[in-house]
Copies of this chain bind each other. A is one copy, B any other.
Amino acid sequence: MDCEFSSRIGHVPPSFLREIFRVIADERIISFAGGLPNPNLFPTAAFARAMQATLDESARSALQYGATEGIPELREVVAKSYVQKDDIEVSADHVIITNGSQQGLDLLGKVLVNENDTIAVESPTYLAAIQALSLYRPSFLSVPLNDNGLDSNALEAVIEEHAPKLLYTIPNFQNPTGLTYDDDVRKRVVQILKNRRTVLVEDDPYGEIRFEGERRTPFAKYKDDAVLLGSFSKIVAPGLRLGWIVTRDMDLYDRLLIAKQAADLHTSSLIQHVVYRYYRDNDAQAHIETIAAHYKKQKNAMITALHKHLGDSITHTNPEGGMFIWATLPERVDTAKLFRLAVEEGVAFVPGESFFTSDAPKNTMRLNYSNSTPSRIDEGVRRLSRALDRYDF
- Number of A interface residues, CB 8 Å? 81
Question: How many copies are assembled?
Answer: 2
Check if A329 is an interface residue, CB within 8 A of chain B.
no
Check if A132 is an interface residue, CB within 8 A of chain B.
yes
Chain B residues near A99: list those with CB within 8 A: 99, 263-264, 267-268
Contacting chain B: which of A247-255, A283-291, A334-342? A247-255
Set B4, B67, B100, B255: member contacting A264, Cβ < 8 A: B100
In the bound assembly, the distance between CA atoms of A198 and B62 in angstroms comes to: 39
Name A213-253 residues within 8 Å CB distance of B.
Answer: 225, 233, 237-242, 249, 251-252
A2-B241 contact in complex given A65-B34, A128-B262, C-beta closer than 8 Å = no
- Whether A7 and B114, one on each chain, are in contact in the complex, defined by CB atoms closer than 8 angstroms, is yes
Name A47-79 residues within 8 Å CB distance of B.
Answer: 47-48, 51-52, 55, 59-67
- Whether A110 and B135, one on each chain, are in contact in the complex, defined by CB atoms closer than 8 angstroms, is yes
Check if A157 is an interface residue, CB within 8 A of chain B.
no
- Whether B241 and A268, one on each chain, are in contact in the complex, defined by CB atoms closer than 8 angstroms, is yes
Set B39, B42, B265: member contacting A128, Cβ < 8 A: B265
In the bound assembly, the distance between CA atoms of A5 and B254 in angstroms comes to: 11
Chain B residues near A98: list those with CB within 8 A: 264
- Whether B102 and A265, one on each chain, are in contact in the complex, defined by CB atoms closer than 8 angstroms, is yes
Check if A20 is an interface residue, CB within 8 A of chain B.
no
Set B35, B240, B255, B270: member contacting A239, Cβ < 8 A: B270
- Whether B263 and A102, one on each chain, are in contact in the complex, defined by CB atoms closer than 8 angstroms, is yes
Check if A266 is an interface residue, CB within 8 A of chain B.
yes
Chain B residues near A35: list those with CB within 8 A: 65
Chain B residues near A47: list those with CB within 8 A: 55, 59, 63
Q: Which residue of B lies closest to A259 (CB)?
A: B9
Q: Which residue of B lies closest to A105 (CB)?
A: B262
A55-B48 contact in complex given A110-B135, A271-B270, C-beta closer than 8 Å = yes
- Whether B239 and A62, one on each chain, are in contact in the complex, defined by CB atoms closer than 8 angstroms, is yes
Chain B residues near A62: list those with CB within 8 A: 239
- Whether B48 and A60, one on each chain, are in contact in the complex, defined by CB atoms closer than 8 angstroms, is no
- Whether B64 and A237, one on each chain, are in contact in the complex, defined by CB atoms closer than 8 angstroms, is yes
- Whether A1 and B111, one on each chain, are in contact in the complex, defined by CB atoms closer than 8 angstroms, is no
Check if A36 is an interface residue, CB within 8 A of chain B.
yes
A110-B9 contact in complex given A265-B102, A271-B268, C-beta closer than 8 Å = yes
A39-B12 contact in complex given A6-B111, A197-B3, A269-B239, C-beta closer than 8 Å = no
Chain B residues near A196: list those with CB within 8 A: 2
Check if A152 is an interface residue, CB within 8 A of chain B.
no
Check if A258 is an interface residue, CB within 8 A of chain B.
yes
Task: Apart from A36-B65, A48-B51, A268-B271, list 14 A-B contacts with CB within 8 A.
Answer: A4-B197, A6-B110, A9-B258, A36-B64, A48-B52, A51-B52, A63-B239, A63-B240, A99-B263, A100-B264, A103-B264, A128-B262, A128-B265, A132-B263
**Could you jot down 30 A-B contacts, CB within 8 Å?**
A1-B225, A3-B252, A5-B251, A6-B110, A8-B111, A9-B111, A9-B259, A15-B258, A36-B64, A39-B63, A42-B63, A44-B63, A47-B59, A48-B52, A48-B55, A51-B55, A63-B237, A64-B238, A65-B239, A66-B239, A98-B264, A99-B268, A100-B265, A102-B262, A128-B261, A135-B259, A239-B268, A239-B269, A241-B267, A263-B263
